[in-house]
A and B are shown apart, each in its own frame.
Chain A
Amino acid sequence: MTDTTIRPVAADRALLSRLRAWYSAETPNPAKRVQFNRPFTPWLFLLPQLAVVVIFFYWPSVQAVTSSFYIEDPFGFGATFVGMENYTDAVSSSQYAGTAFFTAFFCVVVTALSLGIGLLLAVKADKVIRGAATYKTLLISVYAIAPPVAGLIGMMFFDMHIGPLTDIAAFFGHDLRVGIDYWDTVFAVTIISVWKQIPYNFIFFLSGLQSVPVSVREAALIDAKSGWRRFMDVTLPLLAPTAFFLLVINITYAMFDTFPIFDVVVKDKPANNPITLVYKVYLDGFKGNDIGGSSAQSVILMVVVAALTVLQFRFLERRVHYG
């Protein structure tokens, strides 16, 4: 009798201690040399963030994917499984193609312009001494202006009746009709989007420039007479990590954060106006009630964004070892 009671208990205890050891085993790269060894406390600290993430991120994300395979009954009585139909419908529609092309075009132009101008201003601001602080403050302050506000102010500037830019265009012989003429609207939206994004790039480029060691810059002063040569051979390569990071951020901005600017122009009625893919998701889903189609478009965008973000992190990781 005693024999059989002892052995299971010993086995249990052994199992328990093995479980405990497994549970609190050190991960290959522990964040800290010394850590707390409580089993439940970390969960307490993690729970709020985790809960929010699971409920408001994973649940909707999963649902986005699943509902993209269904068409919802217009009377709300359920949904029919349609496989990839939503996807093929979306992609084959000429409207979608047009919007996709415009989005790509828009991303390239906005990214190029706001990166270019941001870099130029950062290089100059880094160079001057007198007034540097004032320039910096002025150039940075616009960062905090929200896209809808930028959109509103911008549209006023392009307004056909009161906008000064319309007057200037008229002076040069062009009848600027933002909101009616397609390309005029594209022009306006692009300028406004670039305007809004310049401060962000400016801040990061300036910070990147200022982290180039002074002595390396001085060595370059001795090695190369032309400022342009110094910039191309020494400064730009050292800025490359920052530039790549900003590239991804800017593309993401142009694709998604410009939503309010388009909304200001389009006001839920696209007519002849340019829109981005994310705006189409909004129109189709919330105004057009095409849940399935909208979800399919969302999933397509998800894939694009995920790819971009992964790219960014892979490169960032390399950069961390670079410095």
Chain B
Amino acid sequence: MAKLSLKNVGKTYAGGTLAVSGVNIDIADGEFIVLVGPSGCGKSTLLRMVAGLETITDGEIHIGERLVNQLDPAERDIAMVFQNYALYPHMTVRDNMAYGLKNRGASKSVIAERVAEASRMLELGPYLDRKPRALSGGQRQRVAMGRAIVRQPAAFLFDEPLSNLDAKLRVSMRMEIRKLQKRLGTTSLYVTHDQLEAMTLADRLVVLNEGRIEQIGAPLEIYRRPASTFVASFIGAPAMSLLDAHIDAGAITLEGHTLARVGNSAGPVTLGLRAEDLHIAARGVPMAVEHVEELGAQRIVHGTIGAQTLAVIDAGDQQVQDTVQVSIDPARLHLFDTTTGRRIENRLHTAVHEPAL
């Protein structure tokens, strides 16, 4: 275990394409950091640069105290769990796990001990003598993790390890991974495009967009105070509704309805509203309902205020009318600059519409 630090890391490909730029992250020993973002945002490239599978064109990466830019992957003391497991098809589970240790000159007894412990932790005992092709996806994924665990490296690198599993397995494996990491205390860097996975696993999240960091922070902080419209709409499901609103003379208005008194300067503003922060109430802003998604425990009501669409989560039992009143908590208004998309602090004074129950 060790800390991981990335200073001004960037990657430009031979043809001129900029994949990653200006990445600065300091990861403490034992932290679980998740790199999250849409396809093509550079998160995998970044991970692979830490692993040594991609060259680093700008900046420095330190694992522990060592500068690793010029080191081969095998010299960096990292272990990687791949999206499609990357198990050696011709070796048994046992040999797959032992291989990395064997090459590093570990004694037979150390290898046997570590393999036994890892297979106990991951419940791989019955499969030790099987070949990968005789295992299911979930089992293969556990072997891939076993292979990483026995190495006791300075850091674990996970490259979308759960993407190839079915939904139910994904949820249970997610918890397994988190519990395992907590138990072992190994610094971990985890890449995913699934924001839910990111939220549940991370000590801190790094949200990436087009090769740049949009925001770093604990999941709850990112959820509550997204630094930009990108982060706001990426984290949280259903996605935050982003609407065009206006600030006039100390009040935020949406389609003519005043929502709150604020001290921000006048002008157009992008308003962010999370579906879970809105309620269908007796009094509020009228919304024309377009369609309702029944989830069982609650439902998502999609509709329009004026010409703009938004979503509201409603846990009630009553029939949803064609027009509903939406109550908006002024404390939960997110404001963003219309041009840059960056967060503007909401200088709230008072609410105009009282939130209903």
Contact = CB atoms under 8 A, between A and B. Distances in A.
A and B touch in the complex (CB under 8 A): yes
B90 interface: yes
A223 interface: yes
A16 interface: no
A218 B82 contact: yes
Contacts of A322: 133
Interface string B106-127: 0000000000000000000000
B99 A222 contact: no
A221 B83 contact: no
A221 B100 CA distance: 10
Given A221-B53, A223-B99, A224-B99, A216 B86 contact: yes
Interface core residue of A218, A219, A234 (most chain B CB under 10 Å): A219
A225 interface: yes
Given A218-B53, A219-B80, A225 B86 contact: no
Contacts of B52: 221-222
B89 A225 contact: no
B80 A222 contact: yes
B81 to A, nearest CB: 9
A226 B82 CA distance: 21
Contact of B84 (A213, A223, A323): A213
Interface string A202-226: 0000000000010110111111111
A222 B84 contact: no
A273 to B, nearest CB: 45
A13 interface: no
A266 B207 CA distance: 75
B231 interface: no
Contacts of B86: 213, 215-216, 218-219
A237 interface: yes
Interface core residue of A224, A229, A322 (most chain B CB under 10 Å): A224
Nearest to B101: A223
Contacts of B75: 225
B90 A221 contact: no
Nearest to A214: B86
Dominant SS among interface residues on chain A = helix
A215 B147 CA distance: 14
Given A229-B103, A234-B88, A238-B89, A221 B82 contact: no
B87 A221 contact: no
A221 B84 contact: no
B26 interface: no
B268 interface: no
B2 interface: no
Given A221-B73, A222-B73, A216 B88 contact: yes
Interface residues of A, number: 19
B72 interface: yes
A284 to B, nearest CB: 47
A233 interface: yes
B88 A222 contact: no
Contact of B74 (A213, A216, A225): A225
Nearest to A218: B53
B51 interface: yes
Contacts of B82: 215, 218-219
Given A216-B88, A234-B88, A221 B103 contact: no
Interface residues of B, number: 24
A216 B51 contact: no
Interface core residue of B84, B86, B99 (most chain A CB under 10 Å): B86
B130 to A, nearest CB: 14
B103 A224 contact: yes
Given A219-B82, A223-B99, A237 B90 contact: yes
B74 A223 contact: yes
B33 to A, nearest CB: 19
Interface in B59-90: 72-75, 78-80, 82-90
Nearest to A217: B86
Interface string B220-248: 00000000000000000000000000000
Contacts of B103: 223-226, 229
A219 B53 contact: no
Nearest to A220: B88
A222 B153 CA distance: 11
Contacts of A218: 51, 53, 73, 80, 82, 86
A222 B89 CA distance: 16
A222 B90 contact: no
Contacts of B78: 222
B100 A222 contact: yes
A217 to B, nearest CB: 8
A213 to B, nearest CB: 7
B157 to A, nearest CB: 9
Interface string B28-70: 0000000000000000000000011100000000000000000
Given A229-B103, A233-B99, A222 B87 contact: no
Nearest to A238: B90
Given A215-B82, A219-B80, A224 B88 contact: no
Contacts of B88: 216, 219-220, 233-234
Contacts of B51: 218, 222
Contacts of B83: 215
Contacts of A234: 88
Interface of A: 213, 215-216, 218-226, 229, 233-234, 237-238, 322-323
26 contacts: A213-B84, A215-B83, A215-B86, A216-B89, A218-B51, A218-B53, A218-B73, A219-B86, A219-B87, A221-B52, A221-B72, A221-B74, A222-B73, A222-B78, A222-B79, A222-B100, A223-B74, A224-B74, A224-B99, A224-B100, A224-B103, A225-B72, A225-B75, A225-B103, A238-B89, A238-B90
| 6 cross-chain pairs, A with B, having the tightest CB-CB distances, nearest first | A215-B86, A225-B74, A223-B100, A219-B86, A237-B90, A224-B103
Given A213-B84, A223-B100, 10 more contacts: A215-B83, A216-B88, A218-B82, A219-B82, A221-B53, A224-B99, A225-B103, A229-B103, A233-B88, A238-B90
